[in-house]
Structure 1
Amino acid sequence: MADVAERAGVSAQTVSRVANGSPRVDPATRARVERAMADLGYRMHRAARALRTGQTSTIGLVVSTLATVGNSRMLQAISEAAAERDYALAVVTVGERGIREAFARLRSQGVDGAVVLNEATELARDTEPPADLHLVVVDSPPDARFSIVQTDHAGGARAATRHLLDLGHPVVHHLAGPARSFAAAERERGWREALAEAGVAPPEPVRGDWSSASGNAAVRRLADATAIFVANDQMALGALRALADAGRRVPEDVALVGFDDIADAAEFRPPLTTVRQDFDALGRRAVAALVEAIEGGAPVAETVAAAVVTRSSSGVA
């Protein structure tokens, strides 16, 4: 730091401010210091900074599985958002020993806080989190113990269901996610609300486990459906396969809408109409809320909008 200060012609305190992203440095001085850092190969020593500040600039991510597309997309989004703020990321999965063990592993790594993702949120709600571990939970009912960031699952599901009703389908069936999933419950709620607003009695939903195979198996129980709202794109892919095997054309015989807008949704046959989740925005907001909590801010609750992306799989009745 002294070498950088000498090269840039500033004080060591100014170098520290630049290294820590402080706004209290004018742009010309910041640029001069950053050039000196680059010339000398200077890097912040995280361990030394942790000893001085009591913070490691490392955040954790608690996840039940990384096998689902949504969780993998969130991992990427949170990793990129953390890197933009110069935070490292430690990932732990909830194994047989439960979420308490996951929290303990993170605390042993000295993380400043953690994001709890999707299916792991139910475990976090049912457990008293460590008092010294700041948490942001992705997809959860209101809870004063931590910040919450979530997609407007119900709003997206309402829009998807209305889209199918507006195409002239008298009723929209639902291929739902797991019963204990908050996101699945919210998407089912939005579907029910849209049908109620249209004066349509909701048929009994069938359930899958988010996987393509479960969507293939579940949709076979909807032999009379002309319109199906599927709780995620992976199950919609399985539904497309099952419908094709049964000789039912999409969208001519059955209109289909998914949820997530995964990267391959436009490459399905036919291209899938779906509800787009903004995973990048979710990741940025989750990391921002966590950093704010680490720095002493109050818990927040934020909702990210979801919108229907219309493609070829939804057609007129």
Structure 2
Amino acid sequence: MTPGVGRGAGAPAPRSADVARLSGVSRKTVSRVLNNESYVSGEARRRVLAAAEELGYRLNHAARALASGRTRSIGVVALGTAGYGTASLLVGIERAVRDAGYALRVVNTADGDPEGITGAVESLLDQGVDGVVVSQPIVKGEVPLRVDVPVLFLGAPPAFTATRTLTVGVGARELARAATEHLLDLGHETVHHLAGPRRWYATKDRIEGWRAALAARGAHEPPLLNGDWSAASGYAAGRELASDPSVTALFAAGDEMAIGLIHALREAGRHVPEDISVVGFDGDPVFAHVSPPLTTVRQPFDAAAREGIRLLVHAIEKPDTELPRAGDPPVELVVRGSTAPPPPRRGRTALRTT
């Protein structure tokens, strides 16, 4: 039996007394086994460990709790990637956890599948963490897991059952809407969208914000394009769009995709922003120094991390009290040189030459 899976939702977490009762030994013997002390027979040790596994009793967590109560540590399940967005969010979490006086334990997942997340959470719980942060953005469906500590989900809905679940968004819908509205405010009739991978929650949020902005203005919704966050996927999309002179504005769901897109447009003789305006997403400061400097919306990584950890620490330290209200993440549009009003209509009938 996988630890923690066998208990029904709402069932109390097993205690050392439950382990002692099932294994037929004293609570002192249970304590000695969990603390890896001597003076315990091999048979008694085997029975205690078997009972603990059957009940879903966290061995390492129990040992630490018996010795000192809470461990003052918070575990994070993160996507194992060096991408700007995921890496920046992890840095923000680390800073917020440290400022709250807790230690941080991180487990990376390779591909975001439910089994990978289950293993990551189990690993953190076995280390005795007091709470868990899930900043893993590509889970689909319910993960078969029940956790007996508070869990914070950053930028995604809850994926499994916990003692207390908290959700804090990064404002992706609002940021995507602001990016699209900026282009419409400049006079573009509509805005094309280069989205991220379909399995990411972030992709869905940004598509929803883009669509909401178009619908509010009565603008036509062009066919959706999908990339994979890389500059190469942006370049491929740019080659596809470059031959269509009716395209005058594009919102890319990531800064790197936006840069690849601009590269392809330039190769095809389309000028940015004179012929096509481009807005990115994330706010990577590197892209203030490309040509043209990239207009983007800046994700509030630090603000989201601080707010999320504030709520999580409250849930850990005051489990019987109501959570404080979560603050709204800021929306920051950074306007640079890659956006401008659309070209005159007569200029859209043919491609420019460099």
* Range class of TM-score, shorter chain: 0.7 to 0.9
Asked if 1:109 corresponds to 2:127, the answer is yes
Rounded Cα–Cα distance in structure 1 between residues aligned with 2:193 and 2:284: 19
SS in 2 for 1:314: coil
The corresponding residue for 1:306 is 331
Aligned partner (choices 28, 33, 56) of residue 71 of structure 2: 56
Calculate the TM-score normalised by the size of structure 2.
0.70
Whether the 8 Å contact between 1:175 and 1:230 is mirrored in structure 2 is yes
The corresponding residue for 1:248 is 270
SS in 2 for 1:221: helix
The corresponding residue for 2:100 is 85
Q: Would the alpha carbon gap of residues 142 and 56 (structure 1) be closer, same or farther in structure 2, given more than 3 Å must change?
A: closer
Rounded Cα–Cα distance in structure 1 between residues aligned with 2:64 and 2:79: 31
Aligned partner (choices 276, 279, 294) of residue 272 of structure 1: 294
Shift in Å, 1:236: 1.0
Shift in Å, 1:115: 0.9
Q: Would the alpha carbon gap of residues 205 and 234 (structure 1) be closer, same or farther in structure 2, given more than 3 Å must change?
A: same
Asked if 1:152 corresponds to 2:171, the answer is yes
Rounded Cα–Cα distance in structure 1 between residues aligned with 2:183 and 2:197: 23
Aligned residues: 268
Rounded Cα–Cα distance in structure 1 between residues aligned with 2:167 and 2:184: 32
Rounded Cα–Cα distance in structure 2 between residues aligned with 1:118 and 1:298: 26
Whether the 8 Å contact between 1:138 and 1:286 is mirrored in structure 2 is yes
Rounded Cα–Cα distance in structure 2 between residues aligned with 1:128 and 1:54: 28
The corresponding residue for 1:184 is 203
Shift in Å, 1:67: 2.2
SS in 2 for 1:119: coil
The corresponding residue for 2:85 is 70
Rounded Cα–Cα distance in structure 2 between residues aligned with 1:128 and 1:268: 45
Rounded Cα–Cα distance in structure 1 between residues aligned with 2:234 and 2:268: 14
Q: Would the alpha carbon gap of residues 65 and 134 (structure 1) be closer, same or farther in structure 2, given more than 3 Å must change?
A: same
**Correspondences of 1:1-317 after superposition (within 5 Å):** 52-95=67-110, 97-120=115-138, 122=139, 126-141=142-157, 146-223=165-242, 224=244, 225-295=247-317, 296=319, 297-298=321-322, 303-317=328-342
Whether the 8 Å contact between 1:175 and 1:228 is mirrored in structure 2 is yes
Calculate the TM-score normalised by the size of structure 1.
0.78
Shift in Å, 1:89: 0.9
| Superposed structure 1 runs of 4+ greater than 6 Å apart | none
Whether the 8 Å contact between 1:206 and 1:219 is mirrored in structure 2 is no
CA shift digits 1:188-222 (9 cap, x unpaired) = 11111111122112011100111111111122222
Whether the 8 Å contact between 2:77 and 2:136 is mirrored in structure 1 is no
SS in 1 for 2:240: coil
Rounded Cα–Cα distance in structure 2 between residues aligned with 1:203 and 1:283: 34
SS in 1 for 2:340: coil
> Which structure 1 segments of 5+ residues have no match?
1-47
CA shift digits 1:146-187 (9 cap, x unpaired) = 101112212111121111111111111000111122221111
Give the greater-gyration-radius structure (CA): 2
> Which structure 2 segments of 5+ residues have no match?
1-62, 343-354
SS in 1 for 2:285: coil
Rounded Cα–Cα distance in structure 1 between residues aligned with 2:66 and 2:307: 28
Rounded Cα–Cα distance in structure 1 between residues aligned with 2:202 and 2:105: 24
Shift in Å, 1:50: 5.9
> Considering only aligned residues, what root-mean-square deviation do their CA atoms show, in Å?
2.2
Letter in 1 for 2:132: A
Q: Would the alpha carbon gap of residues 149 and 302 (structure 1) be closer, same or farther in structure 2, given more than 3 Å must change?
A: farther
Shift in Å, 1:306: 2.0
